[in-house]
Amino acid sequence: MSRYFIGVDVGGTKTTALVADVEGNVAGIGAARGGNPRSSGAETAEVVAAAAAEALGGIDPSRVAHGVVAVAGGVAGRSAEEQPILRAWSRAGLSAPVTFVPDVLAAFRAGTPARRGAVLVAGTGAVAAVVDGDAVVRRAGGHGWLVGDEGSAVWLGIRGVRAVLHALDGRGPATSLTTAFVEAIGIDADADPEALARALVDHVYAHPPADLGRLARPVVDACAAGDAVASELVRDA
Amino acid sequence: MSRYFIGVDVGGTKTTALVADVEGNVAGIGAARGGNPRSSGAETAEVVAAAAAEALGGIDPSRVAHGVVAVAGGVAGRSAEEQPILRAWSRAGLSAPVTFVPDVLAAFRAGTPARRGAVLVAGTGAVAAVVDGDAVVRRAGGHGWLVGDEGSAVWLGIRGVRAVLHALDGRGPATSLTTAFVEAIGIDADADPEALARALVDHVYAHPPADLGRLARPVVDACAAGDAVASELVRDA
């Protein structure tokens, strides 16, 4: 009976699982919401189990020989953070051993068969790293949405919100981002500037930080359309 | 039997309550931890009740004729956010009506008897406002630690952490803030740069955002001592 392998990549905005046989043929793909332990507002263990279960589909979990879980936030190698994931893994019927790896290592492997090289991740978060074999030997950025990840989607979203609030306060130049964010978030556009600011601020604090990455798209679009404020943000990123 | 009045000011880092008689003589003062609903990681209602109880001391709560609660984050005027505070108020034995006001209004009243003027709050958070009578008629900043409060203690702390991480990553100039933060947080100073960065990042995400305001002092001290990186941060603030 053929054996399978499963890999799960936990991101800030989405989690993807893939089941393959020993020849590398894909046998199933699963998806779940983001499970970054610092920014997604979801339990990493639950999203790993959900994505894995979907990827397995009708495949008996006992036929999985090995699993790899790639996750940010320095989870790999920390027993206290690995254990909840292992328990959810067991509850999903999986008994295969799991190798935890930093998400940058999985990103590097996904892009090249080389053993040594550099990887630049620009997603919900952002990090650059040098990989040598199975080790991340050097790393810049990737310290998360609050004190790192410069140039990431969340970083752009936060900068965009600040720019809009400055415009609404009268502290900064007007920008088309105001209308774009009002539409993206679904605020009543007829509200006065102070009510708009309050609704925008309420939205920000009511959602997990990773969700701010969704506001990066309007910033990039406004930049492409020539908005000066958005263009400066994209230049900084 | 004389009547009393009680005022509670809920800040990001600390909460203060004061009981006074009708002539304005202070009858008691109470303190509790910060209770900013967005940044302090504590229940606003509980800190209000704790500070009020301490300020009352031996005074019968039924002798309090009126209370004022000043709190940031747009709580004033929102029933859903006022109600938990009112329930804690009742549990503390207080039956007097409560007037909720924005914290900037309380700050303005504390500084001047004038009916109209401007107030600049530079604490854990930061906001500027124009007050006319009992109304805040104009406001700039004060949108909280994530997308506002430029120049506040938390803002300085976050900028300081970013600067230290850049120095440890090799992306930015060396700064005396690295040693200062290592001491302030209590990290093992012999650790290599990557371990220091990881310990600093772990500390940041393990504490409520308002706690980052405590790192503003080392930034200001380093600026005073001539550190170029810290000086630039203070200039921006």
Give contacts of A208 with chain B, Cβ < 8 Å.
Answer: none
- Beta-carbon contacts of residue B47 (< 8 Å; ≥ 6 apart): B10, B15, B32, B33, B34, B35, B40
CA distances from A79 to A10, A50, A74 (A): 17, 21, 11
With bands split at pLDDT 50, 70 and 90, how would you rate the model's confidence at A193? confident
Q: Round the average pLDDT of chain B to a whole number and report it.
A: 92
Identify the pLDDT of residue B81.
87
| Mean pLDDT of the region A140-159 | 91
pLDDT tens figures, A217-237: 999 999 999 999 999 999 988
Query: How many CB atoms neighbour CB A4 within 10 A?
Result: 23
Calpha distance B18→B34 (Å, rounded): 16
With bands split at pLDDT 50, 70 and 90, how would you rate the model's confidence at A158? very high
| Mean pLDDT of the region B220-237 | 93
Give contacts of B148 with chain A, Cβ < 8 Å.
Answer: 162, 165, 201
Give the residue on B whose Cα is nearest the Cα of A148: B162
Give contacts of A194 with chain B, Cβ < 8 Å.
Answer: 139
Nearest Cα neighbor of B198 from A99, A142, A133 is A142
pLDDT tens figures, A102-122: 999 999 999 999 999 999 998
- Beta-carbon contacts of residue B227 (< 8 Å; ≥ 6 apart): B175, B176, B177
B164, B177 Cβ separation under 8 angstroms: yes
For an interface test with B, which of A36, A143, A200 has the most B Cβ atoms less than 10 Å from its Cβ?
Answer: A143
A62, A6 Cβ separation under 8 angstroms: no
B194, A139 Cβ separation under 8 angstroms: yes
Q: Which residue has the higher pLDDT, A70 or A188?
A: A70
Which parts of B22-134 fold into alpha helices (H)?
Answer: 44-56, 79-91, 103-111
Query: How many CB atoms neighbour CB B150 within 10 A?
Result: 20
The DSSP-derived string for A9-55 is EE-SSEEEEEEEETT--EEEEEEEE---TTTSSS-HHHHHHHHHHHH
Say whether B158 and A147 touch across the interface (CB within 8 A).
yes
Residue A134 pLDDT greater than 80, yes or no:
yes
For a pLDDT cut of 70, what percent of chain A falls above it?
Answer: 100
Q: Round the average pLDDT of chain A to a whole number and report it.
A: 92
Residue B189 pLDDT greater than 80, yes or no:
no
Phi, psi at residue B79, to the nearest 5°? Answer: -55, -40
- CA angle (A30, A128, A106) in 5-degree steps: 30
Angle, in degrees to the nearest 10, between helices A177-185 and A193-206: 50
**Residue type for position B21:** D
- Matching residue, tokens 């978060």: A125
Identify the pLDDT of residue A60.
95
Nearest Cα neighbor of A154 from A124, A181, A121 is A124
- Matching residue, tokens 């400055």: A166
Give contacts of A150 with chain B, Cβ < 8 Å.
Answer: 162
| Mean pLDDT of the region B207-215 | 92
Residue B179 pLDDT greater than 90, yes or no:
yes
Complete domains list, chain A, with CATH: 4-111 (3.30.420.40), 151-236 (3.30.420.40)
Kindly indicate whether the ipTM for this predicted assembly is greater than 0.90, answering yes or no.
no
Residue B170 tokens, joined: 């090799």
Residue A1 pLDDT greater than 90, yes or no:
no
A141, A214 Cβ separation under 8 angstroms: no
| Mean pLDDT of the region B103-127 | 92
CA distance B166 to chain A (A): 8
- Closest partner residue to B140 (CB to CB) among A161, A171, A205 is A171
pLDDT tens figures, A10-35: 998 999 999 999 999 999 999 999 99
With bands split at pLDDT 50, 70 and 90, how would you rate the model's confidence at B1? low
Identify the pLDDT of residue A129.
93
Say whether A165 and B143 touch across the interface (CB within 8 A).
yes
